[in-house]
Amino acid sequence: MPNPVFECILTGNIPDFNRFTGKDNAMKILNWYVTRGFLLAFFMAIGILTFGMTGANLVKVLDYVSQGISFFTFFEFTLYILPIILTFTVPWAVMVAVMLVFGRLSADSEITAMRACGVSILQIVSPILIITFFLMLFCLYLQVEVGPPLLGKSRTLMQTAAINQPLAIFEPGKQIEFENTIIYIDDKEGEDGIKGVQIYTLSDPQTVAQDISAERGKLLVDKEKQLLIVRLFDCLVVDKKGAAEQQQDGDAGMPTRFFTQQLEFSFNYGKQANERRISTKAKYMKLTDLMGKIRLTKQLERDTTELEVELNQRIAFALSPIAFLLLGLPLAIRTSRRETSVGLFLSVILAGVFFLSIILCESLSSFPHLYPQYLLWLPNIIFQILGAVMTYRISQR
């Protein structure tokens, strides 16, 4: 049997609606009706969006898995990047849910009927505002406390996994650089074999000292010493260093060529990885560490624009659910379409504009005179003001 409250709303029977609302029962039913639709759409949207964005970040990791890295590492990496991904997908899912739910309510004239019965737009959307506020706090917590350190751990995890499974580092047709050495391979074989190896050792960044070719090779790891050993077989070595020295002396030097059955290179890859971890990047710091670094940098009288951009970007992203809700609500009511594709299309466009605007402002961090740390707030401010004005106009109709 249909609920009598909704019969009153859909038929515009205001006296009967007022009779039901005498005990605030009808308002609770309406709020739950709208909130339930929003939550259902929100969780569906966040599931799909998070899955899509996570998959885009796992392409490289899946390639490593196919080359021998364990599935445990794969799942651990996924958990590490999930908090940062949620800071993007939560506000986006809020907009998708608002566009779908209120677009359908508007298309079915349910919002018009509710307002005819004396229910304001604020009363209709108030539960969703409360939910979005808590989602904003959740995003803020992820951005300033949880996400950045875990993102840093995800990068360290893949570096460590690559050391333990050296073959995963090497990709056919792509160069790998270790210290002053560049390595190319044509193919792989087995767990640790490489084929068609080309190695260039550099005396300086612009000069090739030796050109080494080998039909095949093998990769070994000394975990205690953190050494990656590249052992080559049937090698042709072209020594160009001597020829370059002869040319400097005025002689027409020729490269020296010789053949050797085995040649070995050792790279302290663990040392390189540890050196990179000594200084933590700003995007991997917690809020307290980042603010401490900003204060220290100011005391040293150095430019803090890049650090301030990172700080403001995190907070701007965290506050975006409110901006997405305020703009998505009036647009959904104005479009008045039942089709899911319309709401999805609008949400994708608006989210894309918002995220691209913040990324564009972040790219200006090398131009401190433009104050990019403050420009980052423009997308939030524009979305919120525009949404508030449009919502006010709709409520005054």
* Same-domain pairing of 233 and 140: no
Look at residue 240 in the predicted model and tell me its pLDDT: 76
Residue 229 is part of which domain span?
A: 170-269
pTM of full prediction above 0.85: no
One domain, residues 197 and 314:
no
Q: Does residue 29 sit in the same domain as residue 177?
A: no
Note whether 125 and 190 are same-domain residues: no
Are 242 and 322 found together in one domain?
no
Asked if residue 391 is part of any domain, the answer here is yes
3-state SS, the chain, equals CCCHHHHHHHHCCHHHHHHHHHHCHHHHHHHHHHHHHHHHHHHHHHHHHHHHHHHHHCHHHHHHHHCCCCHHHHHHHHHHHHHHHHHHHHHHHHHHHHHHHHHHHHHCCHHHHHHHCCCCHHHHHHHHHHHHHHHHHHHHHHHHHHHHHHHHHHHHHHHHHHHHCHHHCCCCCCCEEECCEEEECCEEECCCEEEEEEEEEEEECCEEEEEEEEEEEEEEEECCCCEEEEEEEEEEEEECHHHHHHHHCCCCCCCEEEEEEEEEEEECHHHHHHHHHHCCCHHHCCHHHHHHHHHHHHHCCCCCHHHHHHHHHHHHHHCHHHHHHHHHHHHHHHHCCCCHHHHHHHHHHHHHHHHHHHHHHHHHHHCHHHCHHHHCCHHHHHHHHHHHHHHHHHHCC
Residue at 14 is within a domain: yes
List pLDDT tens digits, range 261-308: 888 887 776 555 555 444 567 788 888 888 888 888 888 888 888 888
Residue 294 lies in a domain: no
202 and 216 co-located in one domain: yes
Same domain, yes or no, for 10 and 89? yes
Residue 181, in any domain of the structure? yes
Q: Is residue 314 part of a domain?
A: yes
pLDDT at 43: 93
The reported pLDDT for the residue numbered 134 is 94
Is 91 found in the same domain as 203? no
Q: What's residue 46's pLDDT?
A: 92
Q: Averaged in consecutive runs of 10 residues, what is the pLDDT profile of the chain (397 residues)?
A: 48 49 64 87 91 76 63 79 90 88 79 74 84 92 88 77 64 73 81 82 78 86 74 85 54 72 77 52 84 86 85 88 86 65 72 84 81 86 86 74
- Whether 136 and 241 share a structural domain: no
Pair 179, 53 in one domain: no
- Domain-terminating residue out of 269, 286, 316: 269
The number of domains in the chain is 2
Looking at the structure, tell me whether residues 153 and 198 fall in a common domain. Answer: no
Asked, for residue 284, whether it belongs to a domain, the answer is no
Does the residue 47 lie in any domain? yes
Domain match, 322 and 356 both: yes
